[in-house]
Amino acid sequence: MSISLVIAASLVWVIGYLDDRKELSVRARLPLQLLAAILAVYSLGANFQLLPDLLPYWLEMLILSIAILGSINVANFMDGLDWLTVTGIGIPLFLLGILSAIFLQEPAIPAISLAISGALAGFAVFNRPPASIFLGDSGSLPLGLITGAVFLLFAGQAGIIAALILPLYYILDAGSTIILRLSKGENILQAHSSHAYQIAKRSGKSVYFVTGSLALLNLILGAITAAALWSGTLIGQLYGLIIALVLTALLILYFRKRV
């Protein structure tokens, strides 16, 4: 990781700050976010690739930059409930830091993961329902960028499959919401309240129940990730991902069930 990650995070912080106050248009936000994403990918290393035998370097860098761009915006979209970011990002980052320190040789992953999760633990005190402090765009956008970069670095060390397990709730909730909104002809770039966790809250489930359920799921996903890493085999990681997909999908379906 390098100074370019700091520059990228600072850029999206400025974008978020301006958006919080002046509501920037999508045309103004996305190009600058993409630039920040490219800088974040560059920070991973000049020779960083996940699929060097399958994709040319330039194409993989484009795909990874789009992945970081997605991470930036998913972190923002999912920051719609007190404590959700703490449980949805803070716990996975904490577990990522611990597992990386145990299984991997890349010191940057636990250093950044544990630092961010520690900051979110402090934030949790003030974001406890009913929250007195919120991340806003200026907080969620750089958080999404740094989280995406760290998970890509983890993927480079542990494999793509293992890296998908811990952030699976955010991936599936955001992904399924986009698909459902597209199927209804809605503009996916406009503000909405269609995420599974938001539906669960509107259906009468408490904030503590929603965030507690997500915290429990993420602890289980952490255990699955540990088992996948301990197995040291591709088949072990695949089994872990399948189990994680089933458990995460069940929680999302339960959240989406209107009662």
* Separation of alpha carbons 246 and 166, rounded Å: 13
If we measure between CA atoms, which residue out of 216, 71, 54, 42 comes closest to residue 148? 71
76 marked ligand binding residue = yes
How many whole angstroms separate alpha carbon 144 and alpha carbon 256?
24
Determine if residue 53 is labeled as part of a ligand binding site.
Answer: no
Q: Which of 162, 252, 165, 253 is nearest to 214 (CA)?
A: 252
Contacts for 29 with CB less than 8 Å, ≥ 6 apart: 15, 19
* Nearest alpha carbon to residue 161 among 71, 242, 52: 242
Question: In terms of Cα–Cα distance, which of 128, 95, 126, 129 is closest to 113?
Answer: 95
Cβ neighbours for 182, distance < 8 A, ≥ 6 positions apart: 188
CA distances from 228 to 3, 169, 212, 239 (A): 32, 18, 24, 8
Q: Which amino acid is at 192?
A: H
Between CA 197 and CA 43 the distance in angstroms is 33
Helix, strand, coil % (nearest 5) of the chain? 75, 0, 25
Rounded distance between C-alpha atoms, residue 252 and residue 259, angstroms: 14
Residue numbers belonging to the annotated binding site? 76, 137
Residue numbers belonging to the annotated binding site for Mg(2+)? 76, 137
